[in-house]
Amino acid sequence: MEFDGEEGDRGQNPTIMERDSDSIKDKIAEEPSWFSPKKLLFVFCVVNLINYIDRGAIASNGINGSRGTCTSSGTCSAGSGIQGDFNLSNFEDGILSSAFMVGLLVASPIFALAAKRYNPFRLIGVGLSIWTLAVLGCGLSFDFWSITICRMFVGVGEASFVSLAAPFIDENAPHDQKSAWLAIFYMCIPTGYALGYVYGGLMGDILPWRAAFWGEAVLMLPFAVIGFVIKPLHLKGFGPDDTGKPRTDNLNVLPTGYGFSSVMNDMKMLWVDKVYVTNVLGYIAYNFVLGAYSYWGPKAGYNIYKMENADMIFGGITVFCGIVGTLSGGVILDFVDSTISNAFKLLSISTFLGALFCFAAFCFKSMYAFLALFAVGELLIFAIQGPVNFISLHCVKPSLRPLAMAMSTVSIHIFGDVPSSPLVGVLQDYVNNWRVTSLVLTFVFFPAAAIWFIGIFLNSVDRYNEDSEQDAVTRESTIAPLLEEA
């Protein structure tokens, strides 16, 4: 492949390329050391936490509320929260929980592909700015459609982050702690949900539900600013500068194409990869259950076991189990050796055992027996977060990693938790029995475990260090990691 002018000479002259390498190493050595890999992990974890606090808050009884009711004698009580103010049915309420996914699904692959031309770290800043404005809009909404549209733009803002954060973290993590670092990042999902339940419950008690969204915007604003003001970071397989022009001093690849045919080729490479597809299919079934759990859990707990403080109980259990379970999954995978086959083994075993405990929990009439069994089930269920994303990142070559994460996110939402919340709402409207609804939902964990069990027997290769593009000039990297430890 030839390039015009000086770039073309660099692509064909090893001496010039080696001289460029020395120049780049000098530039990297001059970069400020305060933004270390651990600080990068910390920033991404806090942003992820705020994202999921928002999801937990809108599902909490304090913010989501309930519809007004009337007895047979004609006595009526006013509703509360979003559902009460806008008089939403359970189906409409379920749609509201999934509305942000529409923006997320549409924008995730766009941001992932844009990373080939524009600096990925700057794209995260753009996304978080959109997120902040959209959350402010949620607090100003006046009916079902206005808040639904704002929730869609929340998803657009989050899309840049979910596509690009995990590749950044995996690339800068110590070699023998990659699964653990990913687990720390994904630990923020259950923790954020749980804190969102608590946050929503507290805010709903002392302030109007709209104030909860305004508080989230204030928390996210500094991180949106960080995406623009700090020195931009670059990903392996990518390296455009802030002008939007492709860089040719990237040490792993010289990008050559951004057109429609290149995009379709990247998509095809993902969807013919048996390991990637198997992993995503299992993740879809898993997320179908987890998405509905996260949204309907407090309401189901309140109705089945008469939990007056369901937000706090579910929040506390999820915080503890989410932290311990997610971290344990990543640490265990690193301990037994971080391979794709081992990751599939951990996924299938943990999901199967977790499903047994969660299913058994809903069979008990005692609230205390339910809480004990459900807590053990959640510990096992949350252990999959590090391993499942490790597979998505390592079964593809570096240039496909943002797209792999984006398409995984799109798939698990569009076929998983996007339909699950409204479908569970429809099922509950039909059977009018939260225990039956919860048991039917929990059973879907078993197909997820079976799909991941099949993955154990697939021929899998870790492609983390594979060349980034088939049509690119490649060579072995001889420089230090993107970020040096402070």
Distance CA 471, CA 486 (A): 37
Contact (CB, 8 A) for 345 and 96: no
Tell me the DSSP string of 413-437. IIIIIHHHHHHHHHHHHHH--HHHH
Q: Where are the domains of the chain?
A: 33-66+80-235, 262-480
pLDDT at 242: 44
pLDDT at 11: 41
Give 116's DSSP letter.
T
Contact (CB, 8 A) for 124 and 73: no
Nearest of 385, 295, 289 to residue 332 by alpha carbon: 385
Backbone angles phi and psi of 468, in degrees to 5:
-85, -30
Which residues, 6 or more positions from 341, have their beta carbon under 8 angstroms from its beta carbon?
Answer: 456, 460
The beta strands (E) that lie in 253-366 are given as none
pLDDT at 58: 84
Distance CA 447, CA 326 (A): 21
Dihedral sign for Cα atoms in the order 434, 440, 446, 448: negative
Contact (CB, 8 A) for 406 and 393: no
Which residues, 6 or more positions from 224, have their beta carbon under 8 angstroms from its beta carbon?
Answer: 125, 128, 129, 131, 132
**Residue range 448-474, pLDDT digits in tens:** 999 999 999 998 888 877 654 443 333
Contact (CB, 8 A) for 272 and 385: no
CATH class of 33-66+80-235: mainly alpha
pLDDT per residue, tens digit, the chain (486 aa), is: 333 444 444 344 444 434 443 443 344 444 444 567 888 889 999 999 999 899 888 877 677 776 666 666 666 666 677 887 787 777 777 777 778 878 887 888 788 778 777 877 788 889 999 999 999 999 898 888 898 999 999 999 888 888 788 888 888 888 788 888 888 898 888 788 878 878 888 887 788 888 889 999 999 999 999 888 877 666 665 554 444 444 433 333 334 445 557 667 888 888 899 999 999 999 999 999 988 887 787 778 878 887 777 667 777 787 788 889 989 999 999 898 889 999 999 999 999 999 999 999 999 888 889 889 999 999 999 999 889 999 999 999 888 888 888 889 888 888 988 788 888 888 988 888 989 999 999 999 999 999 999 999 998 888 877 654 443 333 333 334 445 444
Give 258's DSSP letter.
-
Fold topology of 262-480: Growth Hormone; Chain: A; (1.20.1250)
